[in-house]
Structure 1
């Protein structure tokens, strides 16, 4: 299960770097590497936020639970 998680994170990072490399946003390789390293964390936070917008049975969306800014590994 851990290996699958690593492969998914690597895929997200590769997709982000591939998309950014086709634009003029990335000035050099170090910026591309940083964007690729941050991509899985950003995607995880965006998914958590999107899930919080989906109404639950009570009818109100739940506020995002950030956990104090610490990522669980």
Structure 2
């Protein structure tokens, strides 16, 4: 079962998402996870720490899965 995360605005950067969802304790930990190749976006390993993620995408890290959805507020 994936956790849903509402994206405010057009996108969220990968490192910010990892911190916001608790998949990484800090920005440094988020960067390290991406560099280690353990973060996947839509099933593919993502190597860009600041990749722009949009609603409809899926992020996997450490056995956890996050689905991005549009923030309906606003």
TM-score by length of 1: 0.26
> Whose strand proportion is higher, 1 or 2?
2
Larger radius of gyration: 1
> Whose helix proportion is higher, 1 or 2?
1
- Larger relative contact order (CA 8 Å, sep ≥ 6): 2
TM-score by length of 2: 0.26
